[in-house]
Amino acid sequence: MVRPVSLKGANVNSIDLRTDIPGPVSLRWAERHHMAVPRGTQPVAPVFIARAEGAVLYDVDGNSFLDFAGGIGCMNVGHCAPPLREAAATQLERFTHLCFAVTPYQTYVRLAEELNRRTPGRFSKKTLLVNTGAEAVENAVKIARVYTGRPALIGFEDAFHGRTLLAMSLTSKVHPYKEGFGPFAPEIYRIPYGYCYRCSYSRTYPGCDIRCAHALEDFFRRSVDAANVAAIIVEPVLGEGGFVAAPQEFFQALREICTKYGILLIADEVQTGFGRTGTLFACEQLDLEPDLILCGKSLAGGLPLAAVTGRAEIMDAAAPGGLGGTYVGNPVACESALAVLRMFDEQQLARRAGQIGDWILQRTQAWKQDFPLVGDMRGRGAMRAFELVRDPDTREPAKEEVAAITRYCWQHGLIVLSAGTYGNVIRLLVPLVITDDQLEEGFAVLEAALESVCTPTVASAQN
């Protein structure tokens, strides 16, 4: 574990390399990083990792960190999982790259079959493999446009879909994802998400008649003709947007509206996907059958791979040669993904995600009472977050406090990430192979971090 540091008086928005970095080797590399790499890639925790195993990272100075970030939700099977290493190594011996568009290979087709079978939707499906979540979004849009012959797309406030031009245009949060990067792609419209804690219509769920979704009918009159809309793209739980889990009725309403107007429904499960919410896909819990479903991140346990799976007739709309890319569906990544699926089956990792979620709920049940900053606690399964606010009535976002907490955490051996449009959410993306003891160890640090920025309530001070 790294040395404890006091946050009192610290400027949480800037990292002082000389005093903050917990070791001389990381410090040297942080300086080299600063000189060699653009500042736009700034890390959350400037510690250089030498190796990782399960839910633990070891840095170049010999410090260890519990990993509650999982490389932003990519390490659901844990770091260096032996079955994944074995599968990747075996494929490395066979061949590393051919380009699926030149000479195909079995592992791509096998993975496509698995995803067709495992994704929600009782209809015939096909799968396209790509490299990243953003690429999955781009391709889903291409496919939706060519199938429907319509140009427009509807996304949501607080959504995140990636950093390429089209994905960034669909992304809501301006700073830092869009600032200065325009002009953006045209024909993109945005409506409020089912974010009940900050309802755009000042209503309260239940009893709000899911106004946010039904407002679409009016939107089709005021902003864009439904007949011009190719697709609505939605995250079943907002990822970067702060782990907001909209009510099931929100998705049912979207499904009905899409079906009514011939609009395709795209579920972006890049962050929710692969078991994090307690089922392989969050849509399963929502009883939602999207036309296209996207996955990435934990799909190949840290190797770059993402997928678009959808109704066969929609996926076939693009002409031969219209979809692809040099590296898409890399064979080493495909073998790793097949190993990930086997691990999910054998170790019941989706079920474990549900247990982790329950464990967190239990462990944090007093937090709202004990820490006045904790305004909302939410999520699905192991995808859990805490939204911090300075005042429970005004809900003023506590962004600086969240920055202080994430910093306190990495300085005390725990890596956690912030999220949310206001940067005031702490989100947890623990590897699903984490043990209960490791969870407890991490939550003790998180609690100490909260204590360091919170004034205790009168009730808990008396206890």
167 touches 342 (CB < 8 A): no
Taking contact as CB under 6 A, which single stretch among the options 209-217, 223-231, 232-240, 452-460 is the one that binds ligand PLP? 232-240
Helix axis angle, 349-363 to 331-347, nearest 10°: 60
Name residue 415's beta-bridge partners.
67
Q: Which is nearer to ligand PLP, 23 or 162 (CB)?
A: 162
Assess 162 for contact with ligand PLP (CB under 6 A): yes
**DSSP strand E in 91-181: where?**
125-130, 152-156
Among 23, 239, 372, 375, binds ligand PLP (CB under 6 A): 239
Nearest residue to ligand PLP on Cβ basis: 133
Among 235, 291, 370, 387, binds ligand PLP (CB under 6 A): 235
Residue linked to tokens 């994905």: 167
Assess 240 for contact with ligand PLP (CB under 6 A): yes
Among 268, 291, 335, 401, binds ligand PLP (CB under 6 A): 268
Among 55, 72, 253, 263, binds ligand PLP (CB under 6 A): 72
Assess 270 for contact with ligand PLP (CB under 6 A): yes
Q: How far is the CB of 306 from ligand PLP (least distance, A)?
A: 6
Q: Which is nearer to ligand PLP, 270 or 317 (CB)?
A: 270
Q: How far is the CB of 272 from ligand PLP (least distance, A)?
A: 7
Q: How far is the CB of 170 from ligand PLP (least distance, A)?
A: 9
Give the C-alpha separation, 224 to 139, whole Å.
Answer: 22
Largest pairwise CA distance in the chain: 71
The two structure tokens encoding residue 32? 């080299």
Among 150, 161, 173, 311, binds ligand PLP (CB under 6 A): 161
Q: How far is the CB of 320 from ligand PLP (least distance, A)?
A: 26
The two structure tokens encoding residue 144? 């939706």
Q: How far is the CB of 44 from ligand PLP (least distance, A)?
A: 13
Radius of gyration of the chain (CA): 22
Task: Report residue 190: phi and psi, to 5°.
Answer: -135, 135
Question: What is the total count of residues that contact ligand PLP (CB under 6 A)?
Answer: 15
Angle at 48 between CA 134 and CA 306, to 5 degrees: 20
Kindly report the three-state secondary structure assignment for every residue of 2-55.
Answer: CCCCCCCCCCCCCCCHHHHCCCHHHHHHHHHHHHHCCHHHCCCCCCCEEEEEEC
Give the C-alpha separation, 167 to 138, whole Å.
Answer: 6
Task: Report residue 226: phi and psi, to 5°.
Answer: -55, -30
Q: How far is the CB of 163 from ligand PLP (least distance, A)?
A: 6
Assess 139 for contact with ligand PLP (CB under 6 A): no
Among 30, 52, 66, 134, binds ligand PLP (CB under 6 A): 134
**DSSP strand E in 389-459: where?**
414-415, 417-419, 425-428
Q: How far is the CB of 146 from ligand PLP (least distance, A)?
A: 21
Q: Which is nearer to ligand PLP, 132 or 406 (CB)?
A: 132
Give the C-alpha separation, 431 to 276, whole Å.
Answer: 9
The two structure tokens encoding residue 323? 């979809």
Q: How far is the CB of 28 from ligand PLP (least distance, A)?
A: 29
Taking contact as CB under 6 A, which single stretch among the options 76-84, 157-165, 351-359, 381-389 is the one that binds ligand PLP? 157-165
Give the C-alpha separation, 290 to 258, whole Å.
Answer: 10
Assess 158 for contact with ligand PLP (CB under 6 A): no
Assess 301 for contact with ligand PLP (CB under 6 A): no
Taking contact as CB under 6 A, which single stretch among the options 80-88, 128-136, 208-216, 217-225 is the one that binds ligand PLP? 128-136
Q: How far is CA 130 from CA 59, 259, 303, in A?
A: 31, 27, 12
Q: Say how many residues make up the chain.
A: 463
The residues of the shown chain that bind ligand PLP, judged by CB under 6 A, are 72, 132-134, 137, 160-162, 235, 239-240, 268, 270-271, 296
